[in-house]
Structure 1
Amino acid sequence: MQVDFASRIPLWPRYDPADERALQDVLHSRLWWRGNGTRGDDFEAAFAKMLGVAHVRLVSHGTAALELALAALGVGPEDEVIVPACTFIATASAVLRLGAWPIPVDVEPKTLNIDVALIEPAIGPRTRCVVPVHMAGQAADMPAIMAIAGRHGLSVVEDAAHAHGARAFGSALGAIGDASIFSFQSGKLMTCGEGGAIATSRADIAAQTFPLHSCGRPKGDTEYRHLMATTNMRLTELQVALLVGQLRRLPGDMALRDRNAPIFEARLRDAGLEPLDTRAHVERHGRYMTLAWFDPAAFGGADAATLSASLRQMGVPAFRCFPPVHHTEMFAPAALASLVGRNGRAPDYAGMATPVAERAAREAIWFAHPLLLGDEALLTDVADAVATLRVPLHPARQVAHHATMPA
């Protein structure tokens, strides 16, 4: 199948003349540093208003935002933090960086969000926090998670890196937990190349985030006071100038994705894939990814890495689902041994069974959100490209394959 996808998929990131003028304004002002500019403060206020929270703190990247949120909540050495097994590694690595241990919990097959029924059994005496991820932009079951956290005296940090503008349960995602984080990395729904934010309505968390993200210095300090040992996570005014345009375009981009997503999902079903469900509590899906299951037996035995690589060779931005966090090299015995002196005794990661996350790594792929900014013909042709890869296994091999499939 020969289709020129490269010239038809809308380019990302998007910008317009107003973004160019904004960058020039910052350039000419020479106020490039967050410490002497005002654009960062203005954007934080605008983003907080959109979310319906009291405070937003911009930082250098989404992983830094996770570290900052957890540190502001007092997570530290030998603590445990519950995370979904299926997520980008930053959700777990931020915990390790603070000297704590991430505890991966399996996910729901229909949404790949953390399985709420498995959270309570994972809580132990060292548990301090739960970090649900709004996978692909769909809301995790926040009321249930908040209720569990309340019963056990735990904090909740929403990982909303996929969920800019999304809503559920009468709130913006990112406004429900004790704090939340967002990413503005290059592929995200809002981007300035690299960047992130922490959002919260708790004044105590907000107060902690300023010195924690700025070399330990209180706001307005000119006497080189350093209240704590920390690092520099500040964003630049040039990056903030780009975020202003991203926030301005977000409603229009979301409307276009909302219109195209059902079309694309229907075409993918026709091609042999099964997109994730959208739960009834979702009022506005972020649609960062279009995630879909497939049966390897229908695609010649290909796993997710192979199938997505074949699609990328055709010019389709498709990728395998994340591996379970504790199956990455970061959790290999030698890597864990190097952390034990600081983090205390390591959990038994090798014994943690997360069958849904493990299956998703083999049998789920995702498509990048710029596809949903295209037209119906593009979405149809992408699904047709998927269909061309369907090559059923030889019957004898198919029987053997199904014998090894997880229930």
Structure 2
Amino acid sequence: MIAEDHGIGPDGIYSGSSELQRGRMEVFFRETEENKHFPRAVVVDLESDSLNAVLQSTHRALFQGDNFVSGRGGTGNIWAKGFYGEGRRYIDEVLEVIRKEADICEGLQGFNVAHSLCGGTGSGFGALIIEKIHEQYPNRLISTFSTVSSNRLLGVMKQPYNTILSLQHLAENANITYCIDSDGLHDISRRMLRTREPNNDDLNHLASMVMSGITGFLRFPGQMDCDLRTLVSKMIPFPELHFLTPSFISSATLNTTAPSINVWRLVRELFHRRNMITTCGIARGHFFSNALAMIRGNISEPEVTARIWDVRYLMAPGLSPDNISLDIYKLPAHATAFSGTVLGNTTAVKDVLADIEAHFRTLFHSRVFLHYYTDEGMEETDFAEAGNYISNLVGEYANYDRIMDRLQSNR
């Protein structure tokens, strides 16, 4: 998706139709003397099947084979195998590939990690990789695109364990986490498709659209001229409370083929709960900082600003136009007429974290599946500590809610 945004084909060759596509493509792509573009990416899995699928796909020439690290045994959806077992066997190899990529970067600001917290590799090995990057690059930022467990789609029975253990590591070692809830992906995909239930390919495609929208500020010049460090300084006043809630719309998600959209509808949909990728109602929380709205397409900035004033009363009472940083990029995202992404750091995310904790408490109370983790050297106290950590995190969000409620009642 991001390669297509920049007009880079499956062979890594630029064939774009607009100079706008070049943007800041060097942020995510390295160009060789042969005019080929390679992603600045390290692709990791402790099973070989998914990586083999990439190497056999139409985009196999886009990647460097040396940047793939593949295990053999897998993790059996067990966090402890990713963090302690199989993960320890491969972590040095992963860090060496990361080092080689980091060494050829000019002005390295940080790292993006895309992973799921549901299975064993993305959660356990992902947590280990993030911890080691944090240790070895203490002056660099870490942002994560983390697919969290949802209320309805518990496809992995051990998922509550994996998620709660990972969240503690994210709070401690990452600087910013974009929370992508599989419930939110499922609901939006179902509206897009209309006639059938979404499959994994549909959900992954939507997730890639969301990631493309979120990273727009890094890849294209805009009025804000924002980079990762600026985003963190603006949106994260308290280091551990860095779990952002994205919302996303596009001509595809709204099922329209029109080349433009009524600006009132665009802004209303951007702030509507049904388009939240993290399934929480922003009207029930308070914002720590400015929200960041990024819109792509031929949209009038003054009209958007005017409509935000109206919508914030309906959808996001704690926001005003002064609390929303707006950037508009004239280049639409690939295969869309328009799209929009909003990032917010809001206490409403505590609802998602509290649901995750509740699922964890239910499973942990029964002690079911624990032996899979203790066999890898973990203890029950590790689970209790992680659960209490997330409980305290939810409490910090709730405390900020109470403070803001008192301030508003005294006005």
TM-score (norm 2): 0.33
- Larger RCO, structures 1/2 (Cα 8 Å, 6+ apart): 1
TM-score (norm 1): 0.33
